[in-house]
Amino acid sequence: MVLKYFSHSAFQITTNDKKVILIDPFLDGNPTSPVKSDHVNADYIILTHGHGDHIGDAFKIAKRCNPLFIAVNELANYCISHGFRAHNMHIGGAFNFDFGRVKFTIAHHGSMTPDNYYAGEPSGVLITIEGKTIYHTGDTGLFYDMKLIGEMNKIDYMLLPIGDNFTMGIDDAVRAVELASPSVAIPIHYNTFPMITADPMEFKDKLQKLNRNCVVMNFGSEISI
């Protein structure tokens, strides 16, 4: 599969059989994304929570592509109320889709839509495709259950925030990597706005001192995994 990072928390996964999964596609209002929503397609859109910098352009893309939304129950129902297709899940639950397996985890954060609807609990998500497991933590503070998540899942790629203020900062994110023990850590949710300025190379250096692998993905870049 190919993992593409738009910036912020927004990713695109393209499977070997060309299914396209978007995660938190915040593109048009995102000053750091080199890709805008008109140039993105989706078969599935996974949302970690209801904040505007995560729902982003999901509905705009969905009007054109008719993807299946995957989210916790309340947020999935919000998508359905806007006329879209959704698969309702919740934290702790997993489901096998035709592209792979999705399991929702806890995240310590908030979740309300831009128009002030309650969107259920915020979440992280474990996505297993083609034998590889990606853990996108969503927006979250550090929590010790990341250790359990790492013990129960062989995490290949952990996508986790380092921008501080709303989420973990660098030092907490380093601890999160130690707890979940992924093969590779990828920093997200930084430098989008001045309030979440962080140096991803500082994160990488701190992890390297602990013999942990980190890949800093440039905004708009992709890797084959």
Nearer to Mn ion, 100 or 161 (CB): 161
By CB under 5 A, tell whether 43 contacts Ni ion: no
Stretch that binds Ni ion, among 1-9, 47-55, 80-88, 194-202 (CB under 5 A): 47-55
Give the number of other CB atoms < 10 A from CB of residue 176.
Answer: 28
User: Going residue by residue from 49 to 68, which x/- string records binding to Ni ion, judged by CB under 5 A?
Assistant: --x-----------------
Q: Cβ(102)–Cβ(88) under 8 Å?
A: no
Q: Cβ(117)–Cβ(123) under 8 Å?
A: no
By CB under 5 A, tell whether 24 contacts Ni ion: no
If contact means CB under 5 to 8 A according to the sort of partner, which of Mn ion, Ni ion, none does residue 164 touch? none
8: left (phi > 0), else alpha (psi -120 to 50), else beta?
left
Q: Cβ(190)–Cβ(196) under 8 Å?
A: yes
Among 6, 11, 13, 53, binds Mn ion (CB under 5 A): 53
Taking the complex as a whole, the smallest distance from the CB of residue 53 to Ni ion amounts, in Å, to 6
Q: Supply φ then ψ for residue 4, to 5 degrees.
A: -115, 135
Stretch that binds Ni ion, among 22-30, 83-91, 132-140, 192-200 (CB under 5 A): 132-140
Residues 6+ apart with CB under 8 A from 63: none
Among 24, 57, 121, 139, binds Ni ion (CB under 5 A): 139
- Per DSSP, 143 falls in state -
Question: What are the C-alpha distances in Å from 81 to residues 17, 39, 211?
Answer: 31, 25, 47
Taking the complex as a whole, the smallest distance from the CB of residue 111 to Mn ion amounts, in Å, to 10
By CB under 5 A, tell whether 189 contacts Ni ion: no
Among 139, 146, 168, 204, binds Mn ion (CB under 5 A): 139
Q: Which residues bind Ni ion (CB under 5 A)?
A: 51, 139
Q: Which residues bind Mn ion (CB under 5 A)?
A: 53, 139
